[in-house]
Amino acid sequence: MKIAVTGGAGFIGSNFIFHMLKAHPEDRVICLDKLTYAGNLSTLASVMDNPNFHFVKLDICDREGVYKLFEEEHPDMVVNFAAESHVDRSIENPEIFLQTNIIGTSVLMNACRKYGIQRYHQVSTDEVYGDLPLDRPNLFFTETTPIHTSSPYSSSKAGADLLVLAYHRTYGLPVTISRCSNNYGPYHFPEKLIPLMIINALHDKPLPVYGDGLNVRDWLYVEDHCRAIDLILQKGKVGEIYNVGGHNEMRNIDIVKLICKELGKPERLITHVTDRKGHDRRYAIDPTKIYNELEWLPETKFADGIKKTIKWYLENQEWWENIVNGEYQGYYERMYGRR
């Protein structure tokens, strides 16, 4: 099987590539990534020499480039992680989100139609469902919850999901979609909540928490998400959406306090800052369908996952220091620019 993974130099895509190369050593994985500010090729250093892995620097919106790649490689499956993924950035500059997340998705699917594909999988998010009130803890997102987005990011992801379903209905493209809750784990870009707090705490810097910090997210260890996508590729039903979540709801403020405790840092580092515009209050996934149909269950408990994650950031300081000081952006040129 030949699998094209877009956005594989990012957080979840890279973890997915590691998972696939380990779980399916007979498969060939091709990573397509534009290497935006969020893509870091050094993340993939450990697999660069694997004969079953191939990296291509490519923008998924580049129709000619994508078609050329399909013509040469004829992938059997495409898993689309490539996206602009940071809500705050989407509030500052929505257009690039529409470009990559919607137009890029359509370019990939058009290539799939032209060259044929066994499966196109769209990696989506629980944010397409909008948010839930804090005082109704028995409410969860199911796959039939109406789309009701809050930010330009979630709206662009929802637009892509609708397009993916339309390509299935209209052209019979064999698609699946997964909508996952918040991920955490190794290689998470330092601007996101958990790595940001770990890194700031290590430097005894203020820990900026939006608003009252009571916003609730359902956190899932990244490897569990990768296993879920792998299962959907193997056993998922074409045309279906699968919610992926861990029934692990945590308030932002409690996560930050836990990180302080694990690192032996004082909670007085916590600083409440002006809330994000339109900040969603609570996300909570009902993962019953993927459990019933594909027997997927998360394996990593949050208490263990957060310890593993903190340990990883402590042991891989060079990785995130290069991001924090901007060094990582020249990595591709230095390593591969003249090859």
What does the binding site for ligand NAD look like in residue numbers (CB under 6 A)? 6-7, 9-13, 32-36, 38-39, 59-61, 81-85, 100, 104, 123, 125, 157, 180, 182-183, 189
Q: Which two tokens stand for residue 62?
A: 């580049």
CB of 204 to ligand NAD, least distance (A): 26
Is 221 marked active-site?
no
Q: Which of 33, 59, 84, 126 is catalytic?
A: 126
**Tokens 């005082």 label which residue?**
135
**Which CB sits closer to ligand NAD, 6 or 155?**
6
Residue closest to ligand NAD (Cβ): 10
Is 126 marked active-site?
yes
**Which CB sits closer to ligand NAD, 46 or 271?**
46
CB of 41 to ligand NAD, least distance (A): 9
CB of 14 to ligand NAD, least distance (A): 8
CA 83 to CA 157: how far, in whole Å? Answer: 9
**Contact predicate 102/168, CB 8 Å:** no
**Which CB sits closer to ligand NAD, 219 or 265?**
219
**Tokens 């979609």 label which residue?**
177
Q: From 205, 178, 192, select the one nearest 263 (Cα to Cα).
A: 205
Q: From 255, 122, 109, 235, select the one nearest 180 (Cα to Cα).
A: 122
CB of 168 to ligand NAD, least distance (A): 18
CA 143 to CA 285: how far, in whole Å? Answer: 9
Interior angle at CA 248, CA 244 and CA 252, nearest 5: 115
Residue 145 phi/psi, 5° resolution? Answer: -60, 130
**Which CB sits closer to ligand NAD, 125 or 265?**
125
Q: Which of 120, 129, 153, 221 is catalytic?
A: 153
CB of 26 to ligand NAD, least distance (A): 25
**Which CB sits closer to ligand NAD, 36 or 300?**
36
**Which CB sits closer to ligand NAD, 1 or 96?**
96
**Contact predicate 244/179, CB 8 Å:** yes
Q: Which two tokens stand for residue 301?
A: 């408990």
Q: How remote is the C-alpha of 270 from its chain's centroid?
A: 26
CB of 79 to ligand NAD, least distance (A): 10
Q: Which of 59, 127, 131, 224 is catalytic?
A: 127
CA 28 to CA 121: how far, in whole Å? Answer: 17
DSSP 74: -
**Contact predicate 189/133, CB 8 Å:** no
Residue 294 phi/psi, 5° resolution? Answer: -120, 0
Is 62 marked active-site?
no
CA 96 to CA 142: how far, in whole Å? Answer: 29
Give the active site residues.
Answer: 126-127, 153
